[in-house]
Amino acid sequence: MSVLELADVVRVHGSGETAVHALRGVSLTVEPGELVAVMGPSGSGKSTLLNLAGGLDAPTSGTVLVEGTDLGGLSRAQLAAVRRRSVGYVFQDFNLIPALTAAENVALPRELDGVRMREVRRESAAALEDVGLSELADRFPDELSGGQRQRVAIARALVGPRRLVLADEPTGALDSRTGEWVLRLLRTRCDAGAAGVLVTHEARHAAWADRVVFLRDGAMVDETGKATPVEALLK
Amino acid sequence: MVRNGLLALLLRGPMHGYRLRAEFEASTGTTWPLNIGQVYTTLARLERDGLVAPLGEADAEGRVMYELTAAGREEVGRWFATPVERQSRPRDELSIKLAMALMTEGVDVHAVLQAQRTATLRSLQELTRLKAGADEVTDAAWLLVLEAMIFQAEAEVRWLDHCESRVSALPARHATPAPAADHEEVPS
């Protein structure tokens, strides 16, 4: 089963003369193990696509399925539950809670979901181990470097049963080497079975994805698909 | 470049041609494969210019070791100390193609830009896959070469993005019409 499936998704803001077509019939499927990068100029619909995929916004028409669940048919409470259990966000500015330790930040979505404390701690520790930050679990965000904070955010995005990570310019606030390590980590987590959607304007980072799709004026204009074999490139 | 590369390798000590070729390829990750003939012609030229000298007689397999002369040593030092000049590429095919696309009626310059962007991103993905599999320490030299190609591809994508926003900002129907004689309208 696909982790994310957008089918002919349209999003129009406003109506009549002043209507803005943010997305004009976009379809995108992301399988477990897959990292998909979305590129396009500002205003092309990248953020709208990410918001729809995460259930933060609803399409004007078309369907959004997360792990097989049609978000369109859900009550507000059910939608919130899908967001807590299935979807994690990674932002440019990390969005960690300063008063909580790394472990507590990672644990938060599970706690909010009513999971037992012992289980929450186990999941949080496992998620931090997956991003190589076990030793720093008790540090607060301001005691971590930018790269480490983003690793915490990735751990939080994939804690417990969460399998879909939506990353919005996750390297925007990081230097080139640190940004690369964040991409390597996203790549590794997807190779381990997660599904990722990465919005970026940096081609060098998009290139870590299995597929790169290009948006323009709310429509998908092209994608890289499966790349050519290595040998062909080095001739 | 081969010339300076060989001189730099000889800083490590005397080597014969086959060894030089192997070391050159090990350092650059076979990005620029050398044939042995190229190595020996280059060595002959370097010897003529007094930058290297044969060391003793040929061995049983007919291979001659070469070493750097003092002038050769000085030459390598100069090479490392001198920045490489940006190549001017006045006949760069891609720039010409885009300029032509922009000025030719009936050609969708956005489509030309996008086709190039997709292709460049695809090679960037391949280069990144190679990089992901390389070892930070043992492949350090190869990684430098690989990243040079990665950053060049990235620069091309950024330039294409820039072209696109520039083209988008142009007023419609900017294209210069073809000469009037026998000119048929191409619907845009």
- Residue B186 domain flag: no
Report if residue B27 sits inside a domain. yes
Nearest-CB residue to B126 (from A203, A204, A228): A228
Altogether, the residues listed in chain A come to a count of 235
Residues B64 and B8 in one domain: yes
Q: What is the pLDDT of residues B40-50, one digit of tens each?
A: 999 999 999 99
Structural domain includes residue B188: no
The predicted model gives B16-43 an average pLDDT of: 86
State whether B11 and B77 are in the same domain. yes
Average pLDDT, chain B: 83
- Please report whether residue B87 resides in a domain: no
pTM: 0.80
Q: Could you tell me the residue range of the domain that residue B156 belongs to?
A: 93-169
Q: Which residues are CB-contacts of A55 (< 8 A; sequence separation ≥ 6)? A: A64, A66, A71, A79, A82, A83, A87
Residues B126 and B70 in one domain: no
**Shared domain check, B48 and B13:** yes
With CA atoms as reference, the chain A residue closest to B156 would be A203
CB A214 within 8 A of CB B118: yes
- CB contacts < 8 A (A, B): 65
Q: What is the mean pLDDT of residues A14-18?
A: 88
ipTM of this complex: 0.81
Kindly state whether residues B124 and B162 are assigned to the same domain. Answer: yes
Does some domain include residue B77? yes
B150 close to A (CB below 8 A): yes
Q: Let me know if residue B174 belongs to a domain.
A: no
Is residue B178 domain-resident?
Answer: no
**Residue B88 belongs to a domain:** no
| Last residue in a domain, options B81, B114, B130 | B81
User: Which structure tokens are listed for B163?
Assistant: 């072209």
How many domains in chain B? 2
Q: CATH no. for residue B64?
A: 1.10.10.10
Q: Compute CA A181 distance to the chain's CA centroid, rounded to the nearest angstrom.
A: 16
| pLDDT confidence tier of residue B88, bands split at 50, 70 and 90 | low
From B55, B81, B107, the end of a domain falls on B81
Same domain, B38 and B13: yes
Please give the helix or strand (H or E) that residue A11 lies within, else none. strand A4-13
How confident is the model at residue B89, as a pLDDT? Answer: 55
Considering the domain architecture, whether residues B120 and B148 belong to the same structural domain is answered as yes
Decide if A230 and B125 are in contact by the 8 Å CB cutoff. Answer: no
Q: Both B8 and B77 in a single domain?
A: yes
Smallest CA–CA distance, residue B1 to chain A, in Å, is 19
Q: Does the pLDDT at position A234 exceed 80? A: no
